[in-house]
Amino acid sequence: MPYQIKTYLRCLVLFGWLFSFSVHAQLHVEISGVGASQIPIAVVSFSNEALAPQLMSIIIKDDLKRSGYFKLIDTIRSVSETDEINVADWKSEGADAVLVGSVHKTEDGRFDVRYKLFDTNKSSVLSAFAIAATPQYLRVTAHKIADDVYEKLTGIRGIFSTRIAYVTKMSKNKRGYQLEIADADGESVQVAFRSNEPIMSPSWSPDGSKITYVSFESKKPVVYIQNLVTGMRTLLANFKGNNSAPVWSPDSNKLALALSRDGNTQIYTVNYDGSGLKRMTTSSGIDTEPHYSSDGQTIYFTSDRSGGPQIYRMNASGGEARRVTFSGNYNIAPRISPDGQTLAYISRRDGKFQLYALDLGSNQELRLTDTHDDDSPSFAPNSKYILYSTAIHSRGTLGMVSVDGRSKQRLTTQAGDVQNPSWGPFIK
């Protein structure tokens, strides 16, 4: 199979801004639980990878292991994609797939990364690529390779090269809050915004170039949009009362948010430049936490109009709202999966706030966590994982769980409490 040359100029533009900010403490990942069935794969050490500042095979292995979909076959070999591969030997060692590759440093200081993915059952090459990367983008390159392996073997798009945002409440000796951006594995952490006052509710724009959030820097909740390429911040909503829970529409033209400017908190929409404010709900209760469906046709939100907080949905252009959740008397923080099949939310039952998933086709509900103080669910762009905040021993941390509840991870940092996560989009 001839090599396909892939370039990531768009990634370089979108992520290049990060290197102008100071690096913060990395998130530590703990894995507990795996998928129901795992694909056995051997990820062989890439030839000459020690020449690079990052070991490509190690990053790829870690990505695949964290997904819960793969069983890593131990091997100490180093094999290049140009070597003769005896797939029968690998099959006899229990591997259904084998990834081999090489790293070569070019005269201009870049690294040429090449790899091949073999199917040992069919004795065929599933994928073969060459990627040229500068040293600072080798980690992104490794994530891209893991994405390709994941997709070729599962049929589902990989999310290892995506990014996450979250807020860190600094430890006692370092007062303040930081909005931080990291790789999906918690590495390459960078600070996007700092404040002595709380930061809440980060939400990515659909193209990953901007993020909106609530800042209390003026002693009240105010909504800002920040350009992640330039670092420029734009004031979006600073009305009387609370300005909260901003979220982008899928076409990037509007944001939905919750405002108390006219009395009780209600759902509004506003153009991305701050114009065209429109009230969407008119209930006598509190309506908040809006979230668009991926097709932009529906807005899900939390309302106590029925006596206690429950999740409703309405047409994105307005109109009658219909109740969605009926199990339990306290359901908040709705998030709809990008594929439109699953609703994630936080439900309080027996005094515990826990993450639940509702299959919108079968109306079957599944509790995904065994923690007691969950909040802020956010779907991975491939709809297969949910990132959320929780508390372990009174310390804020992030959890990650597959939609079937089998694969679980915990992301922590020694720098402080982490909260309010938001999973970024695919970068096209």
Q: Check which CATH number belongs to the domain holding 47 and give it.
A: 3.40.50.10070
In contact, 400 and 411? CB cutoff 8 Å: yes
Domain count, the chain: 2
In contact, 180 and 168? CB cutoff 8 Å: yes
Taking the CA atoms of residue 244, residue 249, residue 250 and residue 252 in that order, the dihedral angle to the nearest 10 degrees is: -100
Residue the block writes with tokens 């600070």: 191
Residue 19 placed within a domain: no
Residue 8 placed within a domain: no
Domain that holds residue 361: 164-423
**What was the pLDDT predicted at 30?**
65
**What was the pLDDT predicted at 412?**
77
C-beta neighbour count of 363 within 10 angstroms: 10
Residue the block writes with tokens 């170039």: 209
Evaluate the CA torsion angle 156, 160, 165, 169 in order and state its sign: positive
Q: Check which CATH number belongs to the domain holding 415 and give it.
A: 2.120.10.30
**Exposure b/e, 148-177, CB count within 10 A at least 16 = b:** bbbeebbeebbbbbbbbbbbbbbeeeeeeb
Q: Which two tokens stand for residue 180?
A: 């931080």
**What was the pLDDT predicted at 395?**
86
Domain end: 107, 129, 154, which one?
154
Residue 90 and residue 203 in one domain? no
In contact, 42 and 98? CB cutoff 8 Å: yes
**What was the pLDDT predicted at 173?**
65
- The DSSP call for residue 74 is P
> CB-side exposure of 67: number of CA atoms within 13 Å?
32
| Torsions phi, psi for 161 (to 5 deg) | -90, 5
Residue 11 placed within a domain: no
Pairing, β 298-303 against β 287-292: antiparallel
**What was the pLDDT predicted at 427?**
84
Helices (H), 56-137: 56-67, 87-92
Residue 134 and residue 185 in one domain? no
Residue 396 and residue 299 in one domain? yes
**What was the pLDDT predicted at 394?**
82
Query: Among 316, 251, 323, 322, which residue's Cα sits nearest to residue 290?
Result: 316
Pairing, β 45-46 against β 78-79: parallel
Residue 200 and residue 295 in one domain? yes
In contact, 247 and 204? CB cutoff 8 Å: no
Residue 133 and residue 278 in one domain? no
Residue 277 placed within a domain: yes
Residue 185 and residue 224 in one domain? yes
Residue 110 and residue 139 in one domain? yes
- Local structure of 49: helix, strand or coil: helix
Residue 428 placed within a domain: no
Residue 119 and residue 171 in one domain? no
Domain end: 134, 154, 174, which one?
154
Residue 51 and residue 187 in one domain? no
Residue 53 and residue 74 in one domain? yes
Residue 66 and residue 169 in one domain? no
Residue 203 and residue 232 in one domain? yes
Residue 17 placed within a domain: no
| Torsions phi, psi for 379 (to 5 deg) | -80, 145
Q: Which residues lie below 8 Å from residue 248, measured CB to CB, with a gap of 6+?
A: 203, 204, 205, 206, 212, 254, 255, 272, 292
Residue 80 placed within a domain: yes
Residue 14 placed within a domain: no
Q: Which residues pair with 102 in a beta bridge?
A: 47, 114
Q: Which residues lie below 8 Å from residue 122, measured CB to CB, with a gap of 6+?
A: none
Domain end: 131, 154, 177, which one?
154
Going residue by residue through the chain (428 aa), what tens digit of pLDDT does each one get?
Answer: 333 333 333 343 344 444 344 445 666 666 666 656 799 999 999 999 999 999 999 999 999 999 999 999 988 778 888 888 899 999 999 999 999 999 999 999 999 999 999 999 999 999 999 999 999 999 999 999 999 999 999 999 999 999 999 999 987 667 899 999 999 999 999 999 999 999 999 999 999 999 999 999 999 999 999 999 999 999 999 999 999 999 999 999 999 999 999 999 999 999 999 999 999 999 999 999 999 999 999 999 999 999 999 999 999 999 999 999 999 999 999 999 999 999 999 999 999 999 999 999 999 999 999 999 999 999 999 999 999 999 988 889 999 999 999 889 888 777 679 999 999 999 87
